[in-house]
Chains A and B, each alone.
Chain A
């Protein structure tokens, strides 16, 4: 499900089945070097493709929530607090599993303090999204992420 009217209409009728929420954690910056800007936007695009695909294949169980955006230079300890307040908000609906998907390895250090599960995936700094190799790589990674999510469902 997506954060869209059409999907919400379906969601409210079948909440008990859509028990998994996924939120991309996306760093944002305008003050970086030009190379870094390119890299951040590339990674943001990859993230969009990535979660779109996860959502498409698991539409009936995974809800893709709006991305959590933060400035690249900000202190993640503060972000963690804000993110946890998002988490509390999400828990107002009957979700059983909340996942944060990110390419930003800095979150790893704060994993323990987060409500919900952190899924960190490595990504290239730059690349060509139209190339078949990149697409294949993304599909592989996506399958691994959804396999991982499914290990939680079995419990």
Chain B
């Protein structure tokens, strides 16, 4: 435990260091090109009813979950805003596409795929260690009590469009 603690403390020092030495990576950030969407008009976001382009071509979706983002209009009381949503998309065994909503069903943190060394090939929640298998089903004895929600989706002109996030029943 104390070794673990030391590891965390030195990691903290390192992070503090990089965080405050912002100059270097600020420059790096400036140079990072966002080439793909700048040049390929097919991939421009486009509204299609309640569905929004996830800016990914069907052929680029593999069996490995990929993180995509898309923007939706959201109304809170009378305040309207555009929020960025995240989905993890991949092709299932049978070739069909699934788009999982990474909002943890425990208390709403954002889970990541394969993001924790101790739990490879799982969706992992950094908040309280919630775990889900690849299909988004919650692993028993971790805090979440329901699987990840699934976005409605469709393919149009070879591009993936996502809609509402639909909760699933307890497994």
Residues of A within 8 A of B (CB): 10, 14, 17-18, 56-61, 119-122, 124, 132-133, 136-137, 140-141, 144-145, 147-148, 150-152, 154-155
Contacts and interface: CB of A to CB of B under 8 A. Distances in A.
> Sorted from nearest, which 6 A-B pairs have the closest CB atoms?
A60-B107, A61-B127, A59-B108, A137-B29, A122-B22, A60-B109
A61 B109 contact: yes
B53 to A, nearest CB: 17
Nearest to A122: B22
Given A17-B128, A148-B12, A151-B8, A137 B107 contact: no
Interface of B: 4-5, 8-9, 11-12, 15-16, 18-20, 22, 25-26, 29-30, 32, 34, 104, 106-110, 125-128, 143
B25 A140 contact: yes
B126 A150 contact: yes
A59 B8 CA distance: 23
Contact of A148 (B19, B30, B110): B19
A14 B104 CA distance: 14
A61 B128 contact: yes
Given A17-B128, A58-B127, A154-B8, A148 B107 contact: no
Contacts of B16: 148
28 contacts: A10-B107, A17-B143, A57-B110, A58-B109, A59-B108, A59-B109, A60-B109, A61-B107, A61-B109, A61-B128, A121-B19, A133-B30, A136-B29, A136-B32, A137-B25, A137-B26, A137-B30, A141-B19, A141-B22, A144-B15, A144-B19, A147-B11, A148-B15, A148-B19, A151-B9, A151-B15, A152-B12, A155-B8
Kindly name the residue among B8, B19, B104 whose own CB sees the greatest number of chain A CB atoms within 10 A.
B19
A10 B32 CA distance: 39
Contacts of A10: 107
A57 B108 CA distance: 8
A59 B26 CA distance: 27
Contacts of B29: 133, 136-137, 140
Given A132-B34, A144-B15, A155 B5 contact: yes
B28 to A, nearest CB: 9
A81 B107 CA distance: 34
A17 B25 contact: no
A133 B28 CA distance: 10
B18 A144 contact: yes
